[in-house]
Structure 1
Amino acid sequence: MQQVTSALLPVMLLTAVGVVAGRLRWIRPEAVKDLSNLVFLVLTPALLFRTMGGVQPGQVALAPVATYFGACLLIFLGTLAVRGWNRAAAVQGLAAVFSNNFMIGVPLVGLVWGEAGLAHLFPLISLHSLVLLTLATLALELAPGTAPTGLHPARAVLQAIRSAIWHPVPLPILAGLAWGQTGWAIPEVVDKPLQLLGQALGPVALLMVGVSLANTRLGPQWRGALVLALLKTAVHPLLVLGIGLALGLSGQAFAVMVLAACLPIGANVFLFSQRYGVVQDQVTAAVAVSTFTAVVSIAIALALLAPGR
């Protein structure tokens, strides 16, 4: 229990500071985009490159990552089966499986397992948007009765793939892995600034989560939002855990995947719903609700899977 508290308390406190700062308008809603750019374009690439520079491809455990995406596929297809194959169901299915791996996952995994845990999380992050956004784009563009968007479905999918690859996440991961194969150490004059930038990622990202929550209103969407939040933070990790145990998986890499599945809905789902003009209010509310339901899931997962268990 002490390990769970020590891991969750800094996350909750930093998020709470962000909420207060947002409510008091010390950080205005207009500044969230600038904070987002700082996190995604500066701090994240520094941390990703520096961490992956010390990882060999053979150290990446593929089975836990495959288990994570297998659970995603089951939930996504299940959502389409229950709610019908339409644009709203496709966005809701994406919300039920798309984790906030950056702003919450990276600082949380870093606190619990350090760089060793991050080395397991980053390969998942590098594939996360590519796999899930492409899947959702296919479902949206090919949904029966969908009005044309002006793009051929194949071109829309190719654009989704290109956007997911040409992104400040996969590129520094691949660059870091490539650098690691040279056997050269990162020069200290470069390594130290990268280290300092990487250390700033967690606090700044969590502050941004809090500011975003301070400006989110649930309104009449809370019922649908709660369903999506429970699918994401309860059903998703339980499926990852169940599939992994059935396959005989264990160890740190598997624990990181289960914890990643516990995380709340990522902001990319909101951007996706805005782009297609589908269930925007419900997704916005679900992102907020899942942030709170994830606290319970994360606490349970850490109690079962944290180091020393």
Structure 2
Amino acid sequence: MNLSAHPVVASLTPVFLLVALGFMAGRLQWIRDAAIKDLSNLVFLLLIPALLFRTMSAVRFEELDLRPLLAYFLAAGVLLAVLIGWRGFNRRSVVLALTGVFSNMVMIGITLVELAYGKAGLVTLLTLVSVHALLLLTTATVVLELAVARENRQAGAEQPHLLATTWSAFKSALIHPVPLPIICGLLFAQTGWSLPTVIDRPLQLLGNAFGPLALVLVGITLARTPLTGHWQSALWATLSKNLVLPVMVGVSAWAFGITGLPLTVMVVAAALPTGANVFLFAQRYEVAQETTTASMGVSTVAALLTLSLVMLVMSWW
């Protein structure tokens, strides 16, 4: 048997090679620290919106199956609650729980799923992506604000109104370079129109540039990630994110009667390493920043094995 021809190997190898090349570029300092933010802005503000809008601009509402949304976020919500309850209700607990639940669906997931499962798989993934940050990050914001309010009450300090904070978090998550172009693309698709070639072609070229650049950027970021001193917490977060969540999502999907390609894409999405948005929460709430960074790094490195295992199991399902 030609191992290199196996679909799991064929789809994972280019992903991890590009991450490895980015890691090498980061270690050799071919990309300066100041340029990383500019590259990130290029990916998130130009390339991602072009890819997401173009992909969803041909998808009709009647073609969408919303059961994966219910199944995935039920499992993610339950795991988030269990992890918070396990560590106790405080800011650190919430941030570390989010680290064990929030997947890197955009930077790694989009390219991987398209390589492995084609456009049909990508539509299922983008359905999840469209509300992934909106639901999980808004929920995390509300829970974190409740934790901060509890701490402030204990300290006798004033706290902004929770509804105002929640509304602000919801708006920030909605008016964002990921969900907004997906929603706009879906709305455009319902008109029955087709994108003119002079618009469609540039969007296609921008979208094609997203995958390689995003994966190289993951590697560059990984090269700048300190992993020492936080191994125990990072390993617990990695176990939760890379293995426990995909099992829970698989069970939840089975309970909803989801089978075939949508089930596979959901489980693979759940097995992706921790997404970078979690660090923004650690930074904003000034808690567990080094642990979160280390967890993202360990989760990404471990995904070389855990993601391969999950995809292999799902290929036999």
TM-score (norm 1): 0.96
Say if 2:46 is the partner of 1:42: yes
Q: Deviations over 1:234-284 (max 9, x none)?
A: 100010012222333202122111111000110000011100001111000
Gaps of 5+ in 2: none
Say if 2:301 is the partner of 1:292: yes
- How far did 1:35 drift? 1.1
| 1:93-112 equivalences in 2 (<5 Å) | 93-112=97-116
Q: Deviations over 1:4-43 (max 9, x none)?
A: 1101100110001001111111112221111111111100
Say if 2:18 is the partner of 1:9: no
Say if 2:250 is the partner of 1:241: yes
Q: Deviations over 1:58-105 (max 9, x none)?
A: 212111221111111111110121111111111111111111011100
- One-letter amino acid matched to 1:300: L
Say if 2:87 is the partner of 1:78: no
Whether contact under 8 Å (1:29, 1:211) holds in the other structure is no
Whether contact under 8 Å (2:68, 2:128) holds in the other structure is no
1:193 paired residue among 194, 199, 202: 202
- One-letter amino acid matched to 2:131: L
| 1:192-211 equivalences in 2 (<5 Å) | 192-211=201-220
Say if 2:40 is the partner of 1:31: no
Q: Deviations over 1:122-160 (max 9, x none)?
A: 121110111111111111111263226853221111111
SS at match of 1:142: helix
SS at match of 2:203: helix
CA RMSD of aligned residues (A): 1.5
TM-score (norm 2): 0.94
Match of 2:71 in 1: 67
Match of 1:168 in 2: 177
Distance 2:256 2:304 in 1: 27
Match of 1:120 in 2: 124
Distance 2:192 2:28 in 1: 49
Q: Deviations over 1:171-223 (max 9, x none)?
A: 11111111111111111111111111101111000000000011111121111
Distance 1:63 1:99 in 2: 19
How many residues get paired? 308
Say if 2:95 is the partner of 1:91: yes
Identity of aligned pairs, percent?
48
Deviation larger for 242-251 or 195-204: 242-251
Gaps of 5+ in 1: none
